[in-house]
Amino acid sequence: MSHRVDPEDRAVLDAWHAVGFLETTGPAATRTRLLGVALTIRRAACGTIQVLAEGRDTPLPVAERHGCLWTSLGTPPATPLAIPEADEPDRRLVCCGSIDVHASGLRVVENFLDMAHFPFVHTNILGAEPQTEVSRYHAEWRRDVDEVWATDCRFHQPRAALSAAAGQDTGYIYRVASPFVTLLYKTCPNDALRPDVIALFVQPTQPERCRAHPVMFLIDDISAQADLIQFQQKIFLQDRIILENQRPRLLPLDARAEIPTRADSLSVAYRRWLKEKRVRYGATGAASGG
Ligand SMILES: [Fe+2]
């Protein structure tokens, strides 16, 4: 079975995908995969980065944004997603290291959007029993920007961030900008008005495998960079155990494959949006009938 992306999978082909961190992209050629296609990445002496794909003579489009190198196998928009908060001068950019996951990238995004697992997977950090209920929130497909958002999300968290001195009632806003690109805005322990921003850029390497690139844009001028990275990696490695045990590894887009509950309404919106976009890579039961 080929792991190559289907030429008709336009939403996936024409998207920008993060394929690594800029801080680790040097003059030595590195290899990676995107949508089943082998890539070679190299930074030239003049500083520009070139991405070559197997079987193609011309280099792929590239963009440097949000600490990451982005590329596309199709015809992408002018730039990767905008994150206006990222430009605030006192934000700290924290690139948390790339992590390989043996699961569909779509499942990794869906897990990122789920609050219900906090007390059970991130126990005593992002949640704790007995406060396990996900209260009602609002999920929607914003057709003007073609993104999925969830607002009015709240969860009580023992340690919402490395800098959190005590438990707090954390407000969340979730945003899915493209099928493999998502971010959240959550109450910052250090700023009453501005939220922390945590992004997850997922690089689908094969249908059932991906590489996750978590990036944080924090208001925190105290914590050491290494400690911030370690905090986030610990959380992500807890997620990876759950993700790699999910079956099927592909994300089912057949409506009958799931029994939605109120807590899942963002997941349902995400799957509907993927289905409507006819996303195939990393999915099962969607547009397979053509
Ligand atoms: Fe998680």
Compute the average pLDDT of residues 80-100.
Answer: 97
Report CA(245)–ligand 1 centroid distance (Å): 14
Rounded to whole angstroms, the Cα distance separating 260 from 257 reads 10
List, for residues 52-77, the tens digit of each pLDDT value. 999 999 999 999 999 999 999 999 99
Query: How would DSSP label each residue in 193-253?
Result: EEEEEEEEEEEEEETTEEEEEEEEEE--SSS-HHHHHHHHHHHHHHHHHHHHT-SSSSEE-
Compute the average pLDDT of residues 126-135.
Answer: 93
Calculate the CA dihedral of residues 217, 222, 227, 232 and round it to 10 degrees.
-30
Residue 268 has pLDDT above 50, yes or no: yes
How would residue 289 be classed by pLDDT, with cut points 50, 70 and 90? Answer: very low
Compute the average pLDDT of residues 121-138.
Answer: 94
Report CA(125)–ligand 1 centroid distance (Å): 10
Report CA(56)–ligand 1 centroid distance (Å): 38
Tell me, letter by letter, the H, E, C secondary structure of 92-140.
Answer: EEEECCCEEECCCHHHHHHHHCCCCCHHHHCECCCEECCECCCCCCEEE
E strand or H helix at 284: strand 283-284
Report CA(132)–ligand 1 centroid distance (Å): 14
E strand or H helix at 266: helix 265-276
Report CA(218)–ligand 1 centroid distance (Å): 18
- φ/ψ of residue 203, rounded to 5: -100, 105
Residue 269 has pLDDT above 50, yes or no: yes
Residue 170 has pLDDT above 80, yes or no: yes
Give the pLDDT score at 254.
Answer: 83
Q: What angle do CA 13, 17, 19 make, to 5 degrees?
A: 130
In this predicted structure, which of 45-54, 128-137, 251-260 has the lowest mean pLDDT? 251-260
Give the pLDDT score at 260.
Answer: 67
Report CA(7)–ligand 1 centroid distance (Å): 32
Report CA(258)–ligand 1 centroid distance (Å): 20
Report CA(151)–ligand 1 centroid distance (Å): 18
Place of tokens 């899942």: 264
Asked whether the bond before 76 is cis by omega within 30 degrees of 0, the reply is no
Report CA(50)–ligand 1 centroid distance (Å): 34
List, for residues 171-212, the tens digit of each pLDDT value. 999 999 999 999 999 999 999 999 999 999 999 999 999 999
Could you tell me what percent of the chain has a pLDDT over 70?
A: 94
Give the pLDDT score at 210.
Answer: 98
Report CA(238)–ligand 1 centroid distance (Å): 7
3-state helix, strand, coil in the chain (%, to 5): 20, 35, 40
Give the pLDDT score at 290.
Answer: 37
How would residue 285 be classed by pLDDT, with cut points 50, 70 and 90? Answer: confident
Report CA(225)–ligand 1 centroid distance (Å): 21
Rounded to whole angstroms, the Cα distance separating 90 from 85 reads 10
Residues 6+ apart with CB under 8 A from 230: none
Report CA(53)–ligand 1 centroid distance (Å): 33
How would residue 162 be classed by pLDDT, with cut points 50, 70 and 90? Answer: very high
The half-sphere exposure of 6 on its side-chain side, counting CA atoms within 13 A, is: 15
Compute the average pLDDT of residues 212-238.
Answer: 97
Report CA(111)–ligand 1 centroid distance (Å): 6
The pTM of the full predicted model, rounded to 2 decimals, is 0.96
Report CA(126)–ligand 1 centroid distance (Å): 8
Report CA(200)–ligand 1 centroid distance (Å): 12
Report CA(83)–ligand 1 centroid distance (Å): 22
